A and B are shown apart, each in its own frame.
Chain A
């Protein structure tokens, strides 16, 4: 780790001011950033911890939406969204291990947009809105390929607004070593139709499986996707699975998510 300064602002304005400086970077739970620093793969001059920023942590219902503060840990989501949005709480409860869940945050996970991360699937399938210190971004416009989002330098995710579906569930097939998603599928059923988002599988990062959405909007049952096939083109191939294997998992996990949601 190289030396850096640490600031722990109490207000969003102070956080914005701190991040305006050169080579300053936001620190969420540090579950990705700290290992990166320890490996000396990044060298920010200053880290701005969002943990103490007022109003950025917590889960609350607002109308038919569930609003989660950008600095809310996975453990808090797992506990506090359990009644309002059980599918989302279940997803949060299976991220990493207790230490990771007690530190890692939803804002950090989304900003990082790891192609194998779980939250992006929930956000995209739910059609959530990512609220930052300067704008509101629809999930469909937020993710921009592996480890990339449309966030600007220093932009802070302050909250994430989830429309709560009639039914929603996440089915995760773990990569054996890291236990991130080798392929994870979040299925959300709204009155307007079904949304299906897939993480872990594609070289482009999280994506919506529109054929399945159409099929499931007509018949929300696992068999509805039986007739569909997923092309291995553009799927990730690595030590843990070929593109064909991941293509298979997309379908299998979609069915399992539907079964869990029904």
Chain B
């Protein structure tokens, strides 16, 4: 019998009631008395000298309160970068200034130049059309290799477009080179990991407010981590101490990484509100989102895998150019390095690995973390090159993987991480079963009879989640700690409120977190309320990304709840006149072991706040505890995915016929929510593999700048998935044994889709087709078949 409450129950998401009935409270729903509206004037050229901005006519237009330009921001800081990478030679990365509004130069289409603040949105927009930036166009640099080979400089003052040249593990380089040179077989693959635009359903919004009575600022924003924004914006940009700055991220309609970062618009509205002594609101249009939300991926990679005659992996070498875009977004430098290089071992015991990454500035929108962040890029190249190697050596791709699986844990990879647990054969076995691989041949015959090609592709994946041990990431260049906090407040009548630093923007924390507490105390889930997203009521929070909420934020909540229980037992012991060591808590009631003396949860809570019969000499009244949890290691979800496609040989159109995912997420709190996370991730992975791709023309204009040209996956593009998470090797170092499931789908799915299409083409005799770059649009697949 499946459980109907507590850990392991598929409790329906309580937050969906308000989301599905239009009662969510998003940032755009927040309107403050006297609020003014901001409209951004953005660069329509990719690269140019900004000689000046003529605002005279615009300033005289109806309703205009003030027009801001880069000059207004000279006295404040630039948008900071949260991670500093050290290069192969031990030198720190080049870190150009990132002004709130462009000053002296514009560096990408969408770069903000000026902002009109007016009484109404239409007035702001009307006046914005009368703002005249004086720009001398410069040749843009878009291609990463050209950028580092003497192309035009994006930032003149740093003298190079190469942000860093990172080698990992640098000491292994010679050994890797030697192993590849002497190997029985080397498979080489050059590929592109396509640039993506996250496209959360809710565009970004920011509302700045300023209270004259106490000189404090409030920012309402569409963020995955309000505390991080408070720290970055307060300390580095505007110089507002944390006690004078509140950041609120209410309901957020999807983040996918792109709402982690601190954006210029947030700093702008906060600054302008204080200047104007009025609230200032900015709501992105969808078109604006395309050219101002940080993009994702955009790697160009060459990977080489060396094997011995038996198919054992000997060494792996990868060279990647990673696009940073025009400025360093908050966590951009970490994505192609520590979130990518450290995952290059995958599920395999490759003894020698060397990863080189050149991060490059170009005249494009900044690139940063997007669902999976670095790990999809690592998984894609590794799982594609393994498939190619299997084909070249004439061996079964599954057997080749199995032969090289890591089987003993803990396992220290040659790329600095230690996997605590896993069972890769188990997920592969499960996959073969749920994907009905045995039935493939029959399905292939059917497709053939219908004039269609059919292919089967598989891959494994491993990811590092639950980001992350603070001392470790500190050594790696993070300018932040990556713990999480929780305050658990028990009210006098027994209900609980959890104030968590994790932020829910679709993940279902309001449902799953209470399940954990309900399990620990033995009370109804509905007695627990989750509060998040407001720096005013949560001690500190690093937010939600990197599949860290349950593993890190949930662990903090568990620790705080353990403190609550310990204290509650002392209170119960006092009232029951027993020793606290003898008190047991079960099903919401405290009993003295071996007796029938008991006390209900609610009675103890009431005693804590009405301490008449209470050990006041030893114990403070009240029942509220805070815990900070800093993980000892990353968590390592893993799994195996299979995709079956049909290809129309006449048009190149690929349809996904079957998709199966066998994941090991460790312990599971809410299986239905996990299914949902995997489904969404797979949809985005299939989107990347077949449809999505940001594309710039030679002038640096974003060609795919609307849904007329940027293909989002739709329901009818996707099959019913078979997902399974019954293989469970619990994480060994967090109290829940959980690993995180938010990114797996997006990490694990692109290689199997591409492997499947290549398989289909190979089976149809297109033996020269060993790779097609994503997105595998009909036109690209058709072109590949033309030879």
Contacts and interface: CB of A to CB of B under 8 A. Distances in A.
A83 interface: no
A242 B650 CA distance: 15
A239 B782 CA distance: 14
B777 A176 contact: yes
Contact of B691 (A176, A249, A252): A176
Given A173-B651, A239-B695, A240-B777, A178 B782 contact: no
B404 interface: no
Interface stretch (B56-64, B173-181, B706-714): B706-714
Contact of B779 (A39, A177, A241): A241
A117 to B, nearest CB: 13
A249 B651 contact: yes
Interface in B641-691: 650-653, 691
B713 to A, nearest CB: 10
Nearest to B697: A239
A88 to B, nearest CB: 23
Contact of A177 (B287, B708, B783): B708
B703 interface: yes
Contact of A252 (B129, B287, B650): B650
Contacts of A252: 650-651
A177 B707 CA distance: 6
A201 B472 CA distance: 56
Contacts of B125: 40
Most A CB within 10 A of own CB, among B691, B707, B708: B708
A245 interface: yes
Nearest to B786: A244
B704 interface: yes
Contact of B709 (A178, A245, A248): A178
Nearest to B695: A239
Contact of B782 (A39, A40, A238, A245): A245
A3 to B, nearest CB: 8
A177 B651 contact: no
Contacts of B778: 173, 176, 182, 241, 245
Nearest to A180: B708
Interface in A225-262: 238-242, 244-245, 248-249, 252
Interface in B697-735: 703-704, 707-712
Contacts of A241: 777-779
Contacts of B691: 176-177
Given A252-B650, A252-B651, A245 B707 contact: no
Size range of the chain A interface in the assembly: 10 to 19
A248 B703 contact: no
B783 A242 contact: yes
B782 A177 contact: no
Interface string A172-190: 0100111000100000000
Contacts of A176: 691, 711, 777-778
A173 B777 CA distance: 13
A39 B653 CA distance: 32
Nearest to A116: B708
Interface in A37-75: 39-40
Nearest to B126: A2
Contacts of A173: 651, 653, 778
Most B CB within 10 A of own CB, among A40, A177, A252: A177
A239 B287 contact: no
Most B CB within 10 A of own CB, among A176, A178, A238: A176
B711 A245 contact: no
A84 to B, nearest CB: 29
A241 B695 CA distance: 13
A212 B238 CA distance: 68
A235 to B, nearest CB: 12
A248 B782 contact: yes
A172 to B, nearest CB: 12
Nearest to B782: A245
A245 B779 CA distance: 6
A238 B652 CA distance: 16
A240 B711 CA distance: 10
Contacts of A249: 651
Contacts of A239: 695, 703-704, 709
Nearest to B713: A176
A112 to B, nearest CB: 14
Contacts of B703: 238-239
Contacts of B779: 240-242, 245
A177 B709 contact: yes
A239 B711 CA distance: 11
Interface of B: 125, 129, 287, 650-653, 691, 695, 703-704, 707-712, 777-779, 782-783, 786
9 contacts: A40-B125, A176-B691, A176-B778, A239-B695, A240-B777, A240-B779, A244-B783, A244-B786, A252-B651
| Shortest beta-carbon contacts, A-B, top 6 | A177-B711, A241-B779, A176-B711, A178-B708, A252-B650, A245-B779
